[in-house]
Amino acid sequence: MKFFVDTADINDIKDLAATGLLDGVTTNPSLVAKSGRNFVELIKEICTVVDGPVSAEVASVDYETMLEEGKYLATLAPNVAVKVPLTEAGLKVCKYLSGKGTMVNVTLCFSSAQALLAAKAGATFVSPFVGRLDDIGQDGMGLIEEICHMYQAQPDLKTQVLVASVRHPRHVVDAAKMGAHVATCPPAIIRQLFGHPLTDKGLAQFVADWAKTGQKILK
């Protein structure tokens, strides 16, 4: 499974990229607004830090403007994935851009039927939002399982399942077991994946025992 970080904070992106575990970045208008940065300049900078796909979302909802925005965003860097909403207009833009060789991330997916349409439109990624479904009492991970099975049953569909709205590490592990291709997580969730109380306890014991030896590895 690939790990993307869902943030517009360049410092978090640089820090996580240094681990070697980061395969890409997803952003959205809300995250960009929170950053206070100029959107275009921010996307350009992120693309210099991360070699993998960097999702840059269009801001319009009508087909004509969305298409022009998508075409422009695709020129910012070779690894930009233009992000469009899962609407009729968004899928038309997806079809056009993917036909030109541009990566497209179709976002705000909440059903298997929508995921099927995104794949038919040539999406590189489809982003089902598991946390938001859980919030309204629906089964977010059940949707991931259904989409993964559907895509596996249709080998002509090349779209990757990008699990979004991830709320905790269990979402990531369960998605990996189901065969999802990507999980995009807030920085805090990625950092939680490193942690376990027994790791902390064991490390503290090793440090204490080593101190008793009075030795140093580096002189």
Q: pLDDT band at residue 181, thresholds of 50, 70 and 90? A: very high
Residue 115 has pLDDT above 90, yes or no: yes
Question: Which pLDDT score, from 0 to 100, does residue 219 have?
Answer: 85
- The whole domain housing 203 covers 2-210
Residue 174 has pLDDT above 90, yes or no: yes
Counting residues of the chain whose pLDDT is more than 90, the rounded percentage is 100
Question: Which pLDDT score, from 0 to 100, does residue 74 have?
Answer: 98
Burial class (CB in 10 A: 0-12, 13-18, 19+), 58: buried
Is residue 218 a part of any domain in this protein? Answer: no
Which is nearest to 148 in space by CA: 195, 123, 182? 182
Counting residues of the chain whose pLDDT is more than 70, the rounded percentage is 100
Is residue 217 a part of any domain in this protein? Answer: no
Mean pLDDT for 5-16 is 97
Is residue 215 a part of any domain in this protein? Answer: no
Q: What is the CATH number of the domain that holds 142?
A: 3.20.20.70
Residue 71 has pLDDT above 90, yes or no: yes
Burial class (CB in 10 A: 0-12, 13-18, 19+), 53: buried
Residue 203 has pLDDT above 90, yes or no: yes
Is residue 116 a part of any domain in this protein? Answer: yes
Mean pLDDT for 37-55 is 97
Average pLDDT, whole number, for the chain? 97
Mean pLDDT for 139-156 is 97
Tell me which residues are annotated as active site: 83
Residue 114 has pLDDT above 90, yes or no: yes
Number of compact structural domains in the chain = 1
Mean pLDDT for 74-92 is 98
Question: Which pLDDT score, from 0 to 100, does residue 21 have?
Answer: 92
Is residue 178 a part of any domain in this protein? Answer: yes
Burial class (CB in 10 A: 0-12, 13-18, 19+), 119: buried
Is residue 172 a part of any domain in this protein? Answer: yes
Is residue 201 a part of any domain in this protein? Answer: yes
Question: Which pLDDT score, from 0 to 100, does residue 40 have?
Answer: 97
Is residue 173 a part of any domain in this protein? Answer: yes
Which is nearest to 193 in space by CA: 57, 75, 19? 19
- Which pTM does this prediction carry? 0.94
